[in-house]
Amino acid sequence: MPELNWKKKEEKHAQRFNHSQKIFEFQVIEFIKNPIISNNDFNNDLLKIKRLRSHEHEKNSMDWKNLLIWGENISILRSLIPKFSNKIKLIYIDPPYATGGNFESKTFIGESKTFEKKKAYSDIWDGGIDEYIEFLYERLLLMRKLLSENGSIYVHLDWHVSHYIKVIMDEIFGKENFQNSLIWAYPAASAKTRRFFIRSFDTILFYTKSNDYTFNDDPEIYMEYSDRVKFALKEDEQGTFYYRGGSHNGKKLSQKVYVTNKGIFPRDVWTDIPYIRANTMEYQAFSTQKPERLLKRIILASSNKDDIVADFFCGTGTSLAVAEKLGRRWIGSDIAKQAINISRKRIIDVWNSNDLMDWKKKYLRRSQPFKIMKTNEFTQTINTHKDFLVENIGKKDTISLIQDSKFVVKISKKDSKITVDLIDFIVPNLNLIKDRVKNKIRIFTDWIDSWSIDFNHQEHSFTTAWISYRTLKNRKLNLTSTPYNYEEKGTHKISIKVNDILGNETIQNYDVVIT
């Protein structure tokens, strides 16, 4: 079988298969299990959420916690292998495409529609295409180890590199396990060129680990009928039908043919799923965000309820949100703290998103418990986004001063109940922040994206019991917590966390005494 060669492929061969490579332990940063969500819509929907909660799904997941992991995914993949080797049913990844460009996201400020653009990630490779291929090759090798024997992997790419990655996936997974080159076709947002045909599709490479793989004929993955067919469909008391024509002895005949499905089994060209627009509920202000309905088709087709679905370039968390809503267990990771913060809020806010089975309704279910983790090896002390800082600051310790933010709270006690008010947030060294950012700050809350409380803080992990957060559709932030009732007397530690728009996380601890 032909193989693709690139710089360092042979040189790094032994290193890739070195079983003595260090495996790092995971550290839990935050645990999220049914927190009180300080949102007026949530309070209005609370009774519906309780009524519609899937008790069966909750029971099945009691011994499992979904995982959102911050860090370099090659270390994460190695560290997952001891526990998850051959256990992940479906992997979907949407990695960089080696475009040679940078991609943007938007950070919205306060309650207004004011935002700042910043670089979401760089897709520039100093070593050219050789470096990119090596990057993805060594990760795909590890992903294959995690994939179950009846599992599948979908790799989302575009015209830049899909032909290269097809060849290395033939090598890693076997060309006999190649199932489809799926085409997701969408309208071009802007078509200024007249020098070549407009590029308006992505390629999704679908491979399996063996010939015995999960693939479901689920009516929910079907494509809509064409307009011609939909126009011909009619209904009577027996259901939906169309007339099939014919003739006999020169006389035209017709008969009713009843249909049970709402569409046709999907072809390998998908033209029925639009890209994300800013006015949709799922929009996360991220330039390369993929639509939930795209992931719905993939996850329903290649996994079953309670299977593990993984995405190691999770970005805004689309695959995780869809896996959550479809009753799958999930593992997601990303190296960008911004992506982890977006995914965190998106999963917490999943009750307020579209129901995948009835797009015009809300999902109205809480998310299953999940942990935010990182490997002990991964240390990133500077999280402030560089695009918000003045140019050429210099020493790293100077930059880190921007992370010494502080906040002021008022803790009120009435009998055994505690209420927390957030009354100020102070960002030091404002001279390090660009004027165009500072000039958009009107009040202290404009710095804040979310804040949360752990009323019974234990060492090493933050358990979110209450949270208020901004979304793109709801910019309100509640500054007073819901009263928390302590059932036991004594001293309790409260931990309060504020996530700001600069990308930083500030945590302060307080003791309260219940008598």
User: In this predicted structure, what is the pLDDT of residue 489?
Assistant: 93
Where helices occur in 393-513 by DSSP H, the ranges are 396-400, 435-438
Domain CATH number, residue 464: 2.60.40.10
Q: Are residues 206 and 288 in the same domain?
A: yes
User: Does the residue 281 lie in any domain?
Assistant: yes
Decide which of 317, 343, 375 is a domain's last residue.
375
Exposure class string for 396-432: b at 16+ Cβ within 10 A, else e:
eeebeebbebebebeeeeeeeebebebeebebeeeeb
Q: Are residues 317 and 408 in the same domain?
A: no
User: In this predicted structure, what is the pLDDT of residue 104?
Assistant: 86
Quickly count helices (H) and strands (E) in the chain: 12, 26
Q: Please give the tally of structural domains in the chain.
A: 3
User: Does the residue 8 lie in any domain?
Assistant: no
Domain CATH number, residue 63: 3.40.50.150
User: Does the residue 314 lie in any domain?
Assistant: yes
What DSSP character marks residue 130? H
Q: Are residues 500 and 477 in the same domain?
A: yes
User: Does the residue 156 lie in any domain?
Assistant: yes
Q: Are residues 141 and 39 in the same domain?
A: yes
Q: Are residues 131 and 206 in the same domain?
A: yes
* Distances, alpha carbon 25 to alpha carbons 21, 373, 467, in Å: 13, 10, 28
User: Does the residue 105 lie in any domain?
Assistant: yes
What DSSP character marks residue 136? H
Q: Which amino acid is at 507?
A: I
Q: Are residues 296 and 394 in the same domain?
A: no
Element (H, E) at 334: strand 329-334
> pTM surpassing 0.85?
yes
Q: Are residues 356 and 438 in the same domain?
A: no
Q: Are residues 391 and 364 in the same domain?
A: no
Q: Can you tell me which residue has the tokens 């700050």? A: 441
Contact by Cβ (8 Å): 402, 438: no
Q: Are residues 364 and 473 in the same domain?
A: no
Exposure class string for 13-38: b at 16+ Cβ within 10 A, else e:
eeeeeeeeeeeeebbebbbbeebbbb
Q: Are residues 145 and 274 in the same domain?
A: yes
Backbone Cα Rg of the chain: 25
List the chain pLDDT tens, one digit each, 515 residues. 788 999 888 878 777 777 667 888 999 999 999 999 988 777 777 666 665 554 445 555 568 999 999 999 999 999 999 999 999 999 999 999 988 888 889 999 999 889 998 888 888 898 899 999 999 999 999 999 999 999 999 999 999 999 999 999 999 999 999 999 999 998 766 667 788 888 889 999 999 999 999 999 999 999 988 777 777 888 888 888 877 765 555 565 577 778 888 889 999 999 999 988 888 999 998 888 999 999 999 999 999 999 999 999 999 999 999 999 999 999 999 999 999 999 999 999 999 999 999 999 999 999 999 999 998 877 665 567 778 888 766 555 455 556 678 999 999 999 999 999 999 999 988 888 899 999 999 999 999 999 999 999 988 889 999 999 999 999 999 999 999 999 999 999 999 999 999 988 999 999 999 98
Q: Are residues 390 and 475 in the same domain?
A: yes
Write phi, then psi, for 107 (nearest 5 degrees).
-110, 115
Q: Which amino acid is at 15?
A: Q
User: Does the residue 416 lie in any domain?
Assistant: yes
User: In this predicted structure, what is the pLDDT of residue 191?
Assistant: 67
Q: Are residues 257 and 270 in the same domain?
A: no
User: In this predicted structure, what is the pLDDT of residue 56?
Assistant: 47
User: Does the residue 15 lie in any domain?
Assistant: no
- DSSP of 251-309: EEEEEEEEE-SSEE---SEE-S-PPP-TTSTT--SBTTPPPHHHHHHHHHHH--TT-EE
User: Does the residue 18 lie in any domain?
Assistant: no
Tell me which residue range forms the domain holding 421.
386-514
Q: Is 208 exposed, middle or buried (0-12, 13-18, 19+ CB in 10 A)?
A: buried
Decide which of 375, 398, 423 is a domain's last residue.
375
Tokens of 315: 């970005």
Decide which of 352, 375, 398 is a domain's last residue.
375
